[in-house]
Amino acid sequence: MLKKLPENLEHLEELAYNLWWSWSRPAQRLWRKIDPEGWEEHRNPVKILKEVSDERLEELSKDDDFISLYELTIERFKDYMEKEDTWFNVNYPEWDEKIVYMCMEYGLTKALPIYSGGLGILAGDHLKSASDLGLPLIAIGLLYKHGYFTQQIDRDGKQIEIFPDYNPEDLPMKPLKDEKGNQVIVEVPLDSTVVKARVFEVKVGRVSLYLLDPDIEENEERYRKICNYLYNPEPDVRVSQEILLGIGGMKLLRALNLKPGVIHLNEGHPAFSSLERIKNYMEEGYSFTEALEIVRQTSVFTTHTPVPAGHDRFPFDLVEKKLSKFFEGFEKRNLLMDLGKDETGSFNMTYLALRTSSFINGVSKLHAEVSRRMFKNVWQGVPVEEIPIEGITNGVHMGTWINREMRKLYDRYLGRVWRDHTDLEGIWYGVDRIPDEELWQAHLRAKKRFIEYIKESVRRRNERLGIDEDVPNIDENSLIIGFARRFATYKRAVLLLSDLERLKKILNDPERPVYVVYAGKAHPRDDAGKEFLKRIYEVSQMPEFKNRIIVLENYDIGMARLMVSGVDVWLNNPRRPMEASGTSGMKAAANGVLNASVYDGWWVEGYNGRNGWVIGDESVLPETEVDDPRDAEALYDLLENEIIPTYYENKEKWIFMMKESIKSVAPRFSTTRMLKEYTEKFYIKGLVNKEWLERKENAERFGAWKERILRNWSSVSIERIVLEDTRSVEVTVKLGDLSPDDVLVELLIGRGESMEDLEIWKVIQIRKHRREGDLFIYSYVNGALGHLGSPGWFYAVRVLPYHPKLPTRFLPEIPVVWKKVLG
C-alpha cells in the first residue's frame, strides 16, 4: 500500500499508476525531483512513492517550484485523459466496440519488466499510440514473476543470467477488482484441471493492459510456476503459457462482460483465443462453419519473423493433452484441432492464426513478401504474390523515443503540433529551418549523456568484477557507432570483427578516432549467440581495442533511449531477409542518428540515398553464410571511404544527412502512421464484418453458402479450354451442384514456370457464360490477351469461390481449381 499523500499532492498516486508518465517529460522531471537517485536506478514511480519518507513529501508539498511542476503535469495529464476529439472519435464516431490486442510480451517501461526485445517494444509502442489516437483498444498479456532476465557479463565475456523476483505490489499496476471489490479471477481449463489466474490492470494512458497471473495459492505448485519466466523453453510450460494467454484472455473478456469487436493476435502465441471463440459461438448455437467465419472475419494476425524458430510448433498429442479439459464434453474437437495442424503433423501456432484470421500482415513490405513464400502451403493453388498477407511496416512511438534535446528543437522549429501529428510529412519539412549548429550542439549534448552512461556502466561492472581499470574516456566530438539488439546469430554481431587488422587501423587513427559500442542479450538457450557476445567482449579487451570497442551489459529500454540518440551511426547488418522489420534504426533516425544497414527489413522502404548508407548492394535476394565475407568487406569499405571521411571532413554534409534522416523517417515510421493503417485496413473492416455476421440470419446464410461450397468443391473442374486467337478464350467448367453465382472464373496471364511463382501481368474475369447440360461455357472475346505463345509466358484459367461478403479472395480450406493453358 502507498502511504497517505499530502492533500495538495493527492494526484501523485493516480499519476504513478498510469504509464502516461513514461512518455511525458514533465512527469519524469516530477518523479526525478522527488527522489533523483531512486528515479535513475528504477524509473518506477510506485517504488518511489512507497519508499519516500513522510518528511520528504511534506517538504515537497510546501516547495513552490515543485508544486508548479506538479500542477502543470497534472493539468496536462487530465487534458490528455479527458480529450474527446481524438483522431479515432473524429473519424469513426460510430464505433466504440473494443479492439482487443494480445501479445506474449509488452515493452512499455523499464519499471515493468515483462518484455525481452523487439516484439515487446513494438507492442508497447502500439498501446501508447492507440492511447494517443483514442482507439477503443484494450490489451491482454501475462505477468512474469522473474521477467526475462537481467544480464551480467563476467571477466571472460560469458553471459550470466539473473532472474529477479519481482513483487507485483512494487510494479505500476493494480489488482483488477469486480463491482464488489474482489480481485477478478479467471478460470482456465488446462490438462485435466482448471487453473485460476488473478488479473492486474496496467493503465497506459487511455488504454488498459490486463495481465494474467497464475501464481496464487488455489493452484497446484506446477501451475503456479507457469509464468515464472518469459518464453519458457520447455514445450509443456510454453503451451500452458499460450493457453493461459489465449483461452484465459477470452475468459477474462467474459468476466468483464466485454464482447470484442476485433481481436488482434500479435504473433501466433495468443492464437488459442481463436479456439475459445469458435467453441463459444458453437455453444451459442452457431455451426462450426458459421463460428469459424465470425472469428476469422473479426481477427487480425501480425507475423513478425521469417526465422522458423520464431514460430511455435508443438507435438500434436501434447496440445491435445493440454486441451483435454477444454474439450471435455465437446464433440467437434477434431475440427478445432485440425486448424493448427501443419504439413509435419505438428500443432503450429502460426498456422492456427493464419487459418482463423482474415486480416494478416507482415511488418514490412519485404517481410510480407517473405511471409507469403513461407506460408504458401496454407493457400493451395494461389500464386505467391496473391496470398493475402499485407505489409504494414512497423513504427515507433516518437513521444517515447525522441530525446529531450531534439524535442526542444522540434518544438521550436516545427511547433508543438508535431507531437500529435507525427505522421504528417509536411510538418517535418520544418527540420530544414533548424540552424546546423543548433542541431549539432543538441546532438552533442545527447552524446555527452550517453558517454556518461557508458562510463558509469563500465565503472560499475569493473567494481563488481574487482577490476582496477580506467573507464573509457570518449570525446563527444569523436565518431561513435552503436550496435544493440538481440544476439541471435543471423544478426551477425561479429561481422565487424571479420578482419581485426583492418579494424584496428579504422578505430585507432589518432586524427579520426572511432568507437564502437555493443549491447544486447543472447537467449539463455542460444549458445551460438552467447559465443558471439563472448567473442566481442574478448576483442574489446585486446590492447589494440581496449576502450575503443565497448560492451555494455543488460540492454533494456532505459539504455536504448540513451543509445539511439547518443551515437552517430546505428549499425545493422543481419543476413538478409531475416530482419523482418527492425525498429531501433527508426528510433535512431528520428534523433538525427544515421543508419548504416544491410538492405533488409524497414530500410528497404526507409533508405533514400541521402539519409544513411546501405552495406553492400540494394538487392533483396536471400543471403547465406557464404555472403558474410562480402558484406564484411563492404562494411569496411563503407567506413573507410564514406562514413569516417564524411564525419570528420564534411560536417555540412553530415548535418544535411541528419536532417534528411529525420524528415524521411520520423513521419513514415511512427506508430501513429502504423495504427492508422491497422485501423483503416483491418480494424474497421473487422468491426463491419462483426456487425453483419452477428445477425444470426446473415451468419446462417453465409454459413450455408460456405457449407455448399465445401460439399461440392471436389466436383468443380475445368474440362476444356479453347484459345482461338489472341483475342478470345472459351472455358468449359463443371460446377456440380454449384451455380455460376458461387464462383469466379478467371484467366491469368504472367511469367513463370508454375502457378506458385507466377508474376502476374493481368487477371481477366470471365463473366459471360451459357449452360450446356451440366456444364457451363465461359467465353471472353474482343480483348487483346497479348503475349500469346511468347516464350516464358504462362496462361492459366482458375475457378475460385465467390461471395460478396468474403473479406479475402482466397480461403485456406478451399484450394483454387486451375489449369494451365500454355506457356
Residue 526 DSSP class: -
The answer on pLDDT for 605 being more than 80 is yes
Which one-letter amino acid corresponds to residue 756? E
Nearest-angstrom CA–CA distance, 409 and 436: 11
Q: What is the pLDDT of residue 342?
A: 94
pLDDT for 26-67, tens place per residue? 999 999 999 999 998 889 999 999 999 999 999 999 999 999
Q: Where are the domains of the chain?
A: 7-82, 87-394+679-693, 434-667, 713-822
Of all helices (H) and strands (E), which one includes residue 30? helix 25-34
Q: What is the pLDDT of residue 549?
A: 97
The answer on pLDDT for 602 being more than 90 is yes
Report residue 435 CA to chain centroid gap.
35
Q: What is the pLDDT of residue 672?
A: 98
Confidence of residue 786 (pLDDT cuts 50, 70, 90): low
Q: What is the pLDDT of residue 469?
A: 86
Q: What is the pLDDT of residue 142?
A: 98
The answer on pLDDT for 191 being more than 90 is yes
Q: What are the helix (H) ranges across 102-220?
A: 118-133
Nearest-angstrom CA–CA distance, 703 and 685: 19
The answer on pLDDT for 394 being more than 80 is yes
The answer on pLDDT for 725 being more than 70 is no
Nearest-angstrom CA–CA distance, 493 and 573: 8
In order, the DSSP letters of 334-356 are: HHHHGGGB-TTS-EEHHHHHHHT
The answer on pLDDT for 532 being more than 70 is yes
CB-facing half-sphere around the CA of 281: CA atoms within 13 A: 26
Query: In this structure, which CATH number among 2.60.40, 1.10.10, 1.10.3470, 1.20.1510 belongs to the domain 713-822?
Result: 2.60.40
* C-beta separation of 563 from 374 below 8 A: no
Q: What is the pLDDT of residue 3?
A: 78
Which residues are registered as beta bridge partners of 162?
A: 150
The answer on pLDDT for 309 being more than 90 is no
Q: Nearest-5° angle of CA 167, CA 170, CA 174?
A: 100
Residues sharing a CB contact under 8 Å with residue 534, sequence separation 6 or more, in sequence order: 156, 157, 158, 159
Span 783-799, average pLDDT: 76
Cell of 282: 458453437
Report residue 266 CA to chain centroid gap.
7
How many CB atoms neighbour CB 741 within 10 A? 9
Burial of 477 (0-12, 13-18, 19+ CB in 10 A): exposed
* C-beta separation of 492 from 571 below 8 A: no
Q: How, if at all, do strands 137-142 and 159-162 pair?
A: unpaired
Q: What is the pLDDT of residue 821?
A: 83
The phi and psi torsions of 39 (rounded to 5 degrees) equal -65, -45
Confidence of residue 653 (pLDDT cuts 50, 70, 90): very high
Residue 285 gets the label, from left (phi > 0), alpha (psi -120 to 50) or beta, of: left
Nearest-angstrom CA–CA distance, 573 and 295: 39
Nearest-angstrom CA–CA distance, 267 and 353: 8
Least confident residue range of 581-590, 719-728, 737-746: 719-728
Residues sharing a CB contact under 8 Å with residue 215, sequence separation 6 or more, in sequence order: 145, 224, 225, 227, 228
* C-beta separation of 562 from 517 below 8 A: no
**Residues 741-744: contacts with CB under 8 Å, at least 24 apart:** 741/802, 742/705, 742/708, 742/709, 742/801, 742/802, 742/803, 743/716, 743/799, 743/800, 743/801, 743/802, 744/799, 744/800, 744/801, 744/802, 744/809
Nearest-angstrom CA–CA distance, 8 and 760: 68
Of all helices (H) and strands (E), which one includes residue 500? helix 500-507
Span 107-122, average pLDDT: 94
* C-beta separation of 387 from 760 below 8 A: no
Span 656-660, average pLDDT: 98
Q: What is the pLDDT of residue 785?
A: 67
Which residues are registered as beta bridge partners of 314?
A: 347
Cell of 507: 578505430
Confidence of residue 789 (pLDDT cuts 50, 70, 90): low
Nearest-angstrom CA–CA distance, 686 and 263: 9
Which one-letter amino acid corresponds to residue 790? S
Query: What percent of the residues of the chain are helix, what percent strand, and what percent coil, each to the nearest 5?
Result: 45, 20, 35
10, 67, 204 from 71: Cα distances, Å: 11, 6, 21
| Same fold across 87-394+679-693 and 434-667 | yes
Q: CATH fold of 87-394+679-693, please? A: Rossmann fold (3.40.50)
Residue 178 DSSP class: -
The answer on pLDDT for 516 being more than 50 is yes
How far the first Cα of the chain sits from its last, in Å, is 75
The answer on pLDDT for 784 being more than 80 is no
Confidence of residue 823 (pLDDT cuts 50, 70, 90): very low
Cell of 127: 498501446
* C-beta separation of 222 from 191 below 8 A: no
Cis before 812? omega within 30: no
Q: What are the helix (H) ranges across 297-435?
A: 316-322, 333-337, 349-355, 365-374, 398-401, 404-414, 425-428
pLDDT for 333-346, tens place per residue? 999 999 999 999 99
Nearest-angstrom CA–CA distance, 213 and 166: 12
Q: What is the pLDDT of residue 735?
A: 96
Span 716-720, average pLDDT: 96
Nearest-angstrom CA–CA distance, 149 and 170: 17
Nearest-angstrom CA–CA distance, 312 and 322: 15
% pLDDT > 90, the chain: 92
CB-facing half-sphere around the CA of 580: CA atoms within 13 A: 24
* C-beta separation of 127 from 209 below 8 A: yes
Confidence of residue 683 (pLDDT cuts 50, 70, 90): very high
pLDDT for 479-515, tens place per residue? 999 999 999 999 999 999 999 999 999 999 999 999 9
* C-beta separation of 249 from 270 below 8 A: yes
10, 540, 595, 656, 661 from 648: Cα distances, Å: 53, 24, 17, 14, 19
pLDDT for 269-287, tens place per residue? 999 999 999 999 999 999 9
**Is CATH 3.40.50.2000 correct for 434-667?**
yes
How many CB atoms neighbour CB 541 within 10 A? 16
Q: What is the pLDDT of residue 232?
A: 87
